[in-house]
A and B are shown apart, each in its own frame.
Chain A
């Protein structure tokens, strides 16, 4: 069965303290891996799509990378406004599977 596992469940950082979030997956045929940001009480907001191993995408302080088994969302010098839950999703042919998310808190 396809699985998407995100770690850690929660992460607390000081402002400026860089770190990474992990999304590991097991699918029979990856079509795309997606990262979303979700603020409390709101719907997920699309950030990135990665299609194949070795691919990288960047947006402001965020950088997403992809290997054959996992993806990392690197956060460089985070600010308090980066606090949110980050969701990973994997598309396998026609199925989309979401991870449970990593709740990031950045303290000033």
Chain B
């Protein structure tokens, strides 16, 4: 079974703090993704990475950065947390299969910024 592990289930941070969300996958997948999920808005892509040290902006990259130093690990960084970044953050990984990308998700990190 594919396993995607997010380092924290719940986080509470203060405005202006630098926040690190970590994600590790154990299936040697090339692609990794960070989404945020808000009620009524569905999943919105923040960043994705298709290889080590490679990254691409998603739909809502402002206020975020990412790091992928190793294939199995993809980190999301909130440079200076703000209250509007309070959300559920989901990490996913995938490998291309016949050109179709099935994404497998971690359990999520619920971040509250006070």
Contact = CB atoms under 8 A, between A and B. Distances in A.
Contact of A45 (B35, B45, B100, B105): B105
Interface residues on B, range: 20 to 34
B42 A101 contact: yes
B100 A96 contact: no
Interface string B65-106: 000000000000000000000000010100000011111111
Interface string B18-45: 0000000000000000010000111101
A37 to B, nearest CB: 11
Specify the main secondary structure of chain B where it touches its partner.
Answer: strand
Specify the main secondary structure of chain A where it touches its partner.
Answer: strand
A1 B103 CA distance: 22
Given A96-B45, A101-B42, A91 B100 contact: yes
Contact of B101 (A96, A98, A99): A96
Contact of B42 (A42, A43, A46, A100): A100
Interface string A67-91: 0000000000000000000010101
B110 interface: yes
Contacts of B41: 100
Contact of B102 (A49, A100, A101): A49
Contacts of B35: 98
A108 B9 CA distance: 30
A42 B101 contact: no
Given A43-B106, A49-B102, 12 more contacts: A4-B42, A9-B40, A31-B100, A36-B105, A41-B108, A42-B108, A43-B105, A89-B103, A96-B101, A96-B103, A99-B42, A100-B41
